[in-house]
Amino acid sequence: MTWIFLSIIIGGLVALLLTPLFIKFQKHKEIGERIRIDGPKTHSIKSGTPTMGGLIFVLSSIAAFTIVTLVKYYRHDIYSVEGIFVISILVLCSFIGFIDDYMALKMQRSLGLRGWVKIFLLILVCVYFILFSKYLLNISTNISIPFTSIKVELGNWYYALIVLIIISTTNAVN
């Protein structure tokens, strides 16, 4: 568990250090949000706001996880398949967000991927999650209630809950 916290701390510090540099770079290159003409007038203040900040978060998370995993492997000769699986979900969801932002920047308008395309791609990621976790990792479908010893067996409803979490959180940060 301390390896996870170490990875989180390293990734957070790297992101904290690189984000201001990334924002300066984007402002210097005039890379930023385009506001739709038919949108509310109050949104015009957001014009030019730096975009693709998730790139820093994802790259720093991957770098931190890789460093910590390599150190753990060389010191203890173990690694986490589950951790690699979680990073793969992060990369896949981030790639969808990157495509969305890149299309919006490339087309010089506020629209990237269509909503149904994003949902379809996220459903593919969720299918990958379900198949990998159910058949390769044999992940338990128990949910523990915090601060109690109660465990609830959800069965296949566990996967429906995970799909809801993946799709809603990736759209919430959009």
Quick check: 56 pLDDT over 80?
yes
Least confident residue range of 8-22, 23-37, 47-61, 94-108: 23-37
Each residue's pLDDT tens digit, 82-114: 888 988 998 999 899 888 878 877 776 567 788
Taking residues 164-171, report their average pLDDT.
87
Contact 170, 97 (CB under 8 A): yes
pLDDT of residue 92: 94
Residue 122 and residue 106: Cα distance in Å, rounded? 22
Neighbouring CB atoms inside 10 A of 133's CB total 19
